[in-house]
Chain A
Amino acid sequence: MAAISREEVAHLARLSRLAVTEEELDRFAGQLDVILQSVARIGEVAADDIPPTSHSVPLTNVYRDDVPTPCLTQEEALSGAPDAFEGRFRVPRILDEED
């Protein structure tokens, strides 16, 4: 049985904001299925009582003081923007909540 369906891949692509083509969907579904079948082996490991590792360094409480540091200028901030207007980043219309 396939570990992941074409429909699931399509859903994940939407969630990831990737406008994948039909051809890509076919290809990715097959490839991801192979990868998932292979990584699914991880379920064999008995690890119920094992704490997860999210960080490999044993550090805690790393903070900085509440002291201002220099900011970028507006020009620097917008220097890479594909589109900007009056000091702001310009974006196409955002899908309305009621759309």
Chain B
Amino acid sequence: MSDLTKMSAAQLAKAIAGKEASAVEVATAHLDRIDAVDERVHAFLHVDREGALAAAERVDKGEVTGPLAGVPIAVKDVIATKGVPTTAASKILEGWRPPYDATLVERLRAAGTVMLGKTNMDEFAMGSSTEYSAYGPTNNPWDLGRIPGGSGGGSAAALAAYEAPLAIGTDTGGSIRQPGAVTGTVGAKPTYGGTSRYGLIAFSSSLDTPGPCARNVEDAALLHSVIAGHDPRDSTSIPQPVPDVVGAARLGASGDLSGVKLGLVKEFAGDGSEPGVLSAFHEGLEALVKLGAEVVEVSCPHFEYALPAYYLIAPSEASSNLARFDGVRYGLRVGDDGNRSLEEVMSLTREAGFGPEVKRRIILGTYALSSGYYDAYYGQAQKVRTLITRDFQSAFERVDVLVSPTTPFVAFPFGSRTSDPYQMYLADLFTIPTNLYGGPAISVPCGLSEGLPVGFQVMAPTLADDRMYRVAAALESAVGTLTPPAL
């Protein structure tokens, strides 16, 4: 057998099903790889060696079958896993072991995957670099001095470091796609409501979307098909069949895109992208044209207000979602000396338990929802959200998908954007509109700039997740996957 950690999820599933490799061998190879490199990468907050080996044994004994039986997976630490520490990379949840599993964790288990552990992230998924993790940042396997993107930098880095072939991310403003872009991996944000949020620790409830992370498009589609589908425990879950994303990925990989119209958003053209990012993106675009696609320029005039709308809506919802962390029912409690009142203890707990970015957003959201400001900020942002949705809808009358760079810049060095929070927010300039609209989008590697990966984003209409997989797989077939330098 070749190096098990270098194989794709599809190959591993096939090898395990064909008894060419045991699930325990596969799990052990990945756990050993984590042991060997994660000190340098720090993709994981918690490695569940025992749990992983037990799950792998059940697969080997034939007790668990499923499309991904025996395939290892890393899960972002914002997803509740029964009995396994779940912290959302926050001090306020240090040591918390949920008494229940998220729906998608149940589905992962039913599909036979073997969970290796929980991956690092920006605290409560607020950030674009994992520098806001309370447990220290994750390092990009392409250059350990640079950020792996965020918030799901741990999941993306685990893939790029060959610690896992599959990972789960969550995308509120780009937290799956932007880490995918800067680590040279694939990350897909499904249609909002297409994947269950039950058990996902909420950041911004109307935007949060769990989705697949992988090293290639087909693997992402396989994982997508396993976790997607209606969940009666999530009221916003869409009661419709999941589109055939795996079939679409395979169709795209055949390399024919004739008749497919790609929309190029005019308003994204000059928007602060690094030249190297732009040129890699245009090379990708040309590759798609060679496969038969047609490029059409479309105008989405309200996209320029997406970032402000997002930074009002997401913090507002977060300020309410994070109110429950008060040191009463679970998690950290600070300052309970027998004299202080509950109010004081709550305030000290939250002060000590939350990092600066989380506090900033809670304060910002509290402000935007305040009675005197609601209409001007939160209310106005929701109206702009409607206009952005209309921009998408009218664009999709003319084109099949929209395309753009995933993020304006390649992986940046640690510390270069933390002093000015707004500079960090710009990383999500191209990913945020999709979250406000609710449609699916995927980031797939399209080349390198200064030796670092560049991501190509494909955005599709809501419920047409299959369409983005087709285009992404076609691009992958043309430019190939990226291989990070050896660690």
List which A63-95 residues lie within 8 A (CB) of chain B: 64, 72, 76-77, 79-83, 89, 91-95
Minimum CB–CB distance from A25 to chain B (whole Å) comes to 10
Write out, one digit per residue, whether chain A residues 17-51 have a CB within 8 A of any chain B CB (1) or not (0).
Answer: 11111001001100110111011111111010011
Chain B residues whose CB sits within 8 angstroms of the CB of A44 once the complex forms:
305
Question: Does A92 contact B438, Cβ atoms closer than 8 Å?
Answer: no
Which size bracket describes the interface of B in this complex? 35 or more
Q: Does A13 contact B (CB under 8 A)?
A: yes
- Among B330, B363, B425, B462, contact of A81 (Cβ-Cβ < 8 Å): B330
Question: Does A52 contact B383, Cβ atoms closer than 8 Å?
Answer: yes
Chain B residues whose CB sits within 8 angstroms of the CB of A53 once the complex forms:
382-383, 385-386, 389, 436
Question: Does A56 contact B389, Cβ atoms closer than 8 Å?
Answer: yes
Q: How far is A41 from B422 in the complex, measured between Cα atoms in Å? A: 14
- Decide yes or no: A51 and B383 within 8 Å by CB, A18-B354, A18-B359 being known contacts: yes
Question: Does B363 contact A9, Cβ atoms closer than 8 Å?
Answer: yes
Q: How far is A55 from B237 in the complex, measured between Cα atoms in Å? A: 11
- Decide yes or no: A52 and B236 within 8 Å by CB, A17-B346, A82-B331 being known contacts: no
Question: Does B438 contact A57, Cβ atoms closer than 8 Å?
Answer: yes
- Decide yes or no: A92 and B192 within 8 Å by CB, A45-B305, A54-B382 being known contacts: no
A residues near B, CB below 8 A?
Answer: 4, 8-9, 12-21, 24, 27-28, 31-32, 34-36, 38-45, 47, 50-57, 59, 62, 64, 72, 76-77, 79-83, 89, 91-95, 99
B residues near A, CB below 8 A?
Answer: 96-97, 99-100, 192-193, 206, 232, 235-236, 238-239, 302, 305, 307-309, 311-312, 319, 323, 326-333, 336, 338, 340-348, 350-351, 354, 356, 359-360, 362-364, 366-367, 370, 376-377, 379-387, 389, 420-422, 425, 436-438, 462
Having A41-B308, A50-B386, one finds 4 other A-B pairs with CB under 8 Å, namely A18-B351, A42-B384, A81-B329, A92-B338
